[in-house]
Chains A and B, each alone.
Chain A
Amino acid sequence: MIFRPCPREAEVNALVERGQWPQACAPDLRNHVNTCRSCSELALVTASFQSARNQAVSAAKLGSPGLLWWRAQLRRRSAAVERISKPILSAQIFALAVNLVVAAAVAVWQARHGVAWLTWLEQLPRNIGSQGFTNLLPPDLFSARSGSMISPLVLISALAAVALVGGVVVYFASEKQ
């Protein structure tokens, strides 16, 4: 196929777009279009498309611009909230990671030094309902024996870490819902 545009195409195109083709066209241009394949195709195609456009434009049923504006506002706000939430989410993930590391370190440390303080769990059913809250705690929790002051601190830290992790998990679960 040879690509050879006619120099009079712009003239023909302008006439068709203004709706002046072929009535208000100069005779020499009309003769040219009759003999020039490129211009005759241009006139035919442009006239067809202009007619189709006019009919389609009049057939269009438009919605409310206010609704689109409202949807755009909502989307912009959602995007802004998402932008703001990203650093918060990163901080939460970081906190979760720190908690997990601490919990793992505690577990490792306890494994190395024995898990004697867990024996109070075995006595828990017997203590419940008999002597009050203080007896629910391990017997050497606040004693001054060597090495025993570390266990309660570790225990409290571990419980706090579990509580924090639990809170984060509940938060993520509620966010997903």
Chain B
Amino acid sequence: MPKRRISRMFWESSIPNVLADDAALQASSAAVQPMDDEAFAAFYERSARPLWAYLARTSGDPALAEDIMQESYVRFLCLVNPPSYLADGEVACRRYLFKIASNLLRDHWRRPRATSIEDMAENLFACADEQRSSDSQMILGPALASMRPRDRQLLWLAHAEGYSHREIAEITGLATASIRLLLFRARRKIARLLEASDAGREA
């Protein structure tokens, strides 16, 4: 038996296989699968860190970033019409993943804010964490926090991930022409904040 088949059986056997005899279900499940488990593990290793960085820096909440990242991967694997890993390539898969994560983050922002203290993230009460102690985060963090959520996303995708305007439009669902102008304004605003922060530190 080939090695690939064995590993697939390992994952499958960890699930209560209540519908193992249902051939139609097995076939439909295989049809919607965007990639096999080995390819997914490799894809995850390469894409999870940038995705987490994007979510953590644009949301400002590492715990939320972790949750949204996991949900994004699960949704990506459950897509009915996923981008083909072989035909479209890893770049397309990664772009789609960022799109899912952006939508989840936007949904989170649209939800009403939690008022109960039990619902608030623990890191909000932390004195200092290691991310805030880094120089770049000390400068960029406050500047990013004063930007609008959509601007944070645009700036990160353009300047941290290096996506083109067309790709950002695909991820965020905005028009390419709008991206150009929104990004220009956001960049100008954050550049002013960074310069002011630099000047403050020097003074």
Is chain A's binding surface mostly helix, strand, loop or mixed? helix
**Alpha-carbon separation in the docked complex, A56 to B132 (Å):** 11
Interface residues of B in 28-86 (CB under 8 A from A): 28-29, 32, 37, 40-41, 44-45, 48-50, 52-53, 56-57, 66, 70, 73-74, 77-78
Residues from chain A with a CB closer than 8 A to the CB of B156 are 49, 53
Within 8 Å by CB of B190, from A45, A65, A84, lies A45
Contact (A41, B188) CB under 8 Å given A52-B57, A69-B77: yes
Task: State whether the Cβ of B105 lies closer than 8 Å to any Cβ in chain A.
Answer: no
Tell me the minimal C-beta distance from B79 to chain A in angstroms.
Answer: 10
Interface size class of A (residues with CB under 8 A): 35 or more
Task: State whether the Cβ of A55 lies closer than 8 Å to any Cβ in chain B.
Answer: yes
Task: State whether the Cβ of B15 lies closer than 8 Å to any Cβ in chain A.
Answer: yes
Interface string of B154-176 (1 = CB under 8 A from A): 01100111100000000000000
Interface residues of A in 63-85 (CB under 8 A from B): 63, 65-66, 68-77, 79-81, 84
Interface string of B137-162 (1 = CB under 8 A from A): 10110000000000000011001111
- Asked if residues A63 and B159 are in contact (CB atoms below 8 Å), the reply is no
Within 8 Å by CB of B191, from A44, A60, A81, lies A44
Contact (A65, B45) CB under 8 Å given A55-B134, A80-B19: yes
Within 8 Å by CB of B159, from A46, A57, A68, lies A46
- Asked if residues A69 and B37 are in contact (CB atoms below 8 Å), the reply is yes
- Asked if residues A60 and B11 are in contact (CB atoms below 8 Å), the reply is no
Tell me the minimal C-beta distance from B108 to chain A in angstroms.
Answer: 19
Task: State whether the Cβ of B91 lies closer than 8 Å to any Cβ in chain A.
Answer: no
Within 8 Å by CB of A57, from B12, B49, B184, B185, lies B49
Interface string of A152-172 (1 = CB under 8 A from B): 000000000000000000000
Residues from chain A with a CB closer than 8 A to the CB of B161 are 53
Task: State whether the Cβ of B115 lies closer than 8 Å to any Cβ in chain A.
Answer: no
Tell me the minimal C-beta distance from A48 to chain B in angstroms.
Answer: 5
- Asked if residues B159 and A3 are in contact (CB atoms below 8 Å), the reply is no
Interface residues of B in 88-110 (CB under 8 A from A): none
- Asked if residues B53 and A75 are in contact (CB atoms below 8 Å), the reply is no
Residues from chain B with a CB closer than 8 A to the CB of A40 are 191
- Asked if residues A70 and B15 are in contact (CB atoms below 8 Å), the reply is yes
Task: State whether the Cβ of A5 lies closer than 8 Å to any Cβ in chain B.
Answer: yes
Residues from chain B with a CB closer than 8 A to the CB of A69 are 11, 37, 40-41, 77
Interface residues of A in 27-61 (CB under 8 A from B): 40-42, 44-46, 48-53, 55-61
Task: Name A residues whose Cβ lies closer than 8 Å to a Cβ of B.
Answer: 1, 3, 5, 17, 40-42, 44-46, 48-53, 55-63, 65-66, 68-77, 79-81, 84
16 contacts between A and B (CB under 8 A): A17-B162, A41-B188, A45-B159, A48-B139, A48-B159, A53-B57, A53-B160, A55-B134, A56-B53, A59-B130, A60-B49, A62-B52, A66-B37, A69-B37, A75-B74, A77-B25
Task: Name B residues whose Cβ lies closer than 8 Å to a Cβ of A.
Answer: 11-12, 14-15, 18-19, 22, 25, 28-29, 32, 37, 40-41, 44-45, 48-50, 52-53, 56-57, 66, 70, 73-74, 77-78, 130-131, 134, 136-137, 139-140, 155-156, 159-162, 180-181, 184-185, 187-188, 190-191, 194-195
